[in-house]
Amino acid sequence: MAGNEAAAAEEIPIPPPLPPRTELSRPEIERYSRQLVLPELGVRGQLRLSACSVLVVGCGGLGCPLALYLAAAGVGRLGLVDHDAVELHNLPRQVLHRESRLGCSKARSAVSALRELNSSVQCVPYELALDRDSALELVRAYDVVADCSDNVPTRYLVNDACVLAGKPLVSASALRLEGQLVVYGHQGGPCYRCLFPKPPPPETVTNCADGGVLGVVTGILGSLQALEVLKIATGMGTSFSQVMVLFDALESRFRYIKLRPRDPNCAVCGDHPSVTALQDYELFCGSSATDKCRTLCLLRNEERVSVEEYRKILDSNIPHILVDVRPKVEVDICRLAQAVFVPLSKLQEKDEGCLQLLVQRICEARQMSSENSAFPVYIICKLGNDSQKAVKILQGLSCPGSGLISVKDIKGGLMAWATKIDPEFPQY
**In percent, how much of the chain has pLDDT > 90?**
83
Residue 407 lies in a domain: yes
The answer to whether residue 133 sits within a structural domain is yes
Residue 274 has pLDDT above 60, yes or no: yes
Q: Among the three residues 285, 320, 335, which one is the final residue of a domain in this structure?
A: 285
What order do you get walking across the sheet with 321-324 strand by strand? 304-305, 405-410, 375-380, 321-324, 339-341
Least confident of 212-226, 329-343, 355-369, 389-403: 389-403
Question: No. of H helices and E strands in the chain?
Answer: 18, 13
pLDDT grade for 8, boundaries at 50, 70 and 90: very low
Q: Is residue 294 part of a domain?
A: no
CATH number of the domain within which 263 lies? 3.40.50.720
Residues 255 and 404 in one domain: no
Instruction: Give the model's pLDDT for residue 400.
Output: 64
* 313 and 203 inside one domain: no
Residue at 139 is within a domain: yes
Same domain, 263 and 331: no
Domain of residue 381, CATH code = 3.40.250.10
Choose one of 259, 285, 311: the last residue of a domain.
285
Q: What is the pLDDT of residue 365?
A: 86
Residue 373 in domain: yes
- Cβ neighbours around 377 below 10 Å, total: 24
Confidence check: pLDDT of 276 > 60: yes
- Tell whether 280 and 306 lie within a shared domain: no
Residue 183 and residue 241 in one domain: yes
Q: What is the mean pLDDT of residues 306-330?
A: 96
Contact between 232 and 55 under an 8 Å Cβ cutoff? The reply is no
Please, which pLDDT band fits residue 6 given cuts at 50, 70 and 90?
very low
Minimum mean pLDDT range among 217-221, 324-328, 380-384, 398-402: 398-402
Both 239 and 330 in a single domain?
Answer: no
> Residue 12: which of 68, 55, 49, 76 has the closest Cα?
55
Q: Please enumerate in sequence order all residues whose Cβ is within 8 A of that of 197, keeping only pairs 6 or more positions apart, or say none.
A: 263, 266, 267
For the chain, state the CA radius of gyration. Answer: 26
Whether 307 and 351 map to the same domain: the answer is yes
Is 10 inside any structural domain?
Answer: yes
Contact 64, 95 (CB under 8 A): yes
Q: Is 235 in the same domain as 324?
A: no
pLDDT in tens, 167-219: 999 999 999 999 999 999 999 999 999 999 999 988 788 888 888 999 999 99
pLDDT range class, residue 2, cuts 50, 70, 90: very low
Q: Which helix (H) or strand (E) covers residue 163, if one does?
A: helix 152-165
**Sorting pLDDT into bands at 50, 70 and 90, what band is 126?**
very high
Last residue of a domain, one of 258, 285, 312: 285
Residue 144 lies in a domain: yes
Angle 159-164-170 from CA coordinates, rounded to 5°: 35
Query: 426 lies in a domain?
Result: no
- Does 307 share its domain with 244? no
Per-residue pLDDT of 132-175, as tens digits, reads 999 999 999 999 999 999 899 999 999 999 999 999 999 999 99
Q: For residue 344, give the 3-state DSSP assignment.
A: helix
Q: Which residues are catalytic?
A: 208, 381
Query: How many domains does one find in the chain?
Result: 2
State the pLDDT at residue 289: 84
Residue 212, C-beta contacts closer than 8 angstroms, at least 6 positions apart: 175, 176
From edge to edge, which strands make up the β-sheet containing 169-175?
122-126, 77-81, 53-57, 144-147, 169-175, 178-184, 243-248, 253-258
Q: What is the mean pLDDT of the chain?
A: 93
Are 234 and 306 within one domain? Answer: no
Torsion of CA 37, 40, 44, 45, to 10 degrees: -100
Q: 272 and 329: one domain?
A: no
More confident residue, 13 or 225: 225
| Domain membership of residue 412 as a residue range | 301-420
pLDDT band at 7 (very low <50, low <70, confident <90, very high): very low
User: Residue 5: which pLDDT band, with cuts at 50, 70 and 90?
Assistant: very low
412 torsion bin: left (phi>0), alpha (psi -120 to 50), beta (else)? left
Residue 413 bridge partners (DSSP): none
* Residue 291 confidence (pLDDT): 66
pLDDT at 3: 41
Most distant CA pair in the chain: distance in Å?
88
Same domain, 47 and 126: yes
pLDDT of 13: 83
